[in-house]
Amino acid sequence: MLIQIPRQNLAILLGIILTPIALWALIKSQDNSLTQWQESTAFPELIEQAIQENYSNPSLAEPAKIKLLKIQVKNQKQPIFFIAFPSELCGIGGCLVAGYVRNNQAQYRPIFKSLLPTQGLLPQIETLPNNWKNEQPCISITTTGLAQE
C-alpha cells in the first residue's frame, strides 16, 4: 500500500528537510575558522620590513619571538598577514599587532596597526562572512579569549 501525499504537503516536507542542510552548507562555505599563529620564519622579508617599520632600534628586535598569522579572506586574491610583536612592543595601551597585505609588486603594505590589550598573549583573529555591498573583508579580532602560543 502506497501512501499518497498531496503536492503542497510534499513541498513543505522537502523544505523542512532541505533548509537545515542548506544552512549547514552556507555556514561551512564561509571561511571563518580560527587559524593558528606560527613562527615568523615562513615570511622573512615581511618580518624584516615589519621590524624596520615598528622598532625604534631594529637591531634590538628578536625575530624568533615575533608571531605570524596568515588569513586568506574569501573573494580576496592576497591573504592578510597579521604580526604579533613580543613584549618589547607592549606598553600601557597594549601590545602591537599589525596587518599587512602583499601588493602586485610583491611588496607588503600595512593595513592595520593597533595596540591591543593582550597581556603579551596572542589575540584570536578570524574572518567573518562578507556581507557588505562592496565586498570588503570583515575581520574579528578578539582579546577576551586569548590564544595560547
- Residue 116 inside a domain? The answer is yes
Q: Which of 60, 57, 63, 58 is nearest to 42 (CA)?
A: 63
Instruction: Give the residue numbers spanning the domain of 51.
Output: 31-147
The domain total for the chain is 1
Cβ distance 91 to 52 under 8 Å? no
Q: Within 7-148, where are the H helices?
A: 7-29, 44-54
51 located within any domain:
yes
For residue 75, tell me if it sits in a domain. yes
89-122 pLDDT tens trace = 777 778 888 999 988 777 899 988 988 887 667 7
Residue 49 in domain: yes
pTM: 0.66
Cβ within 8 Å of residue 69, ≥6 positions away: 35, 36, 37, 38, 81, 82, 83, 84, 122, 125
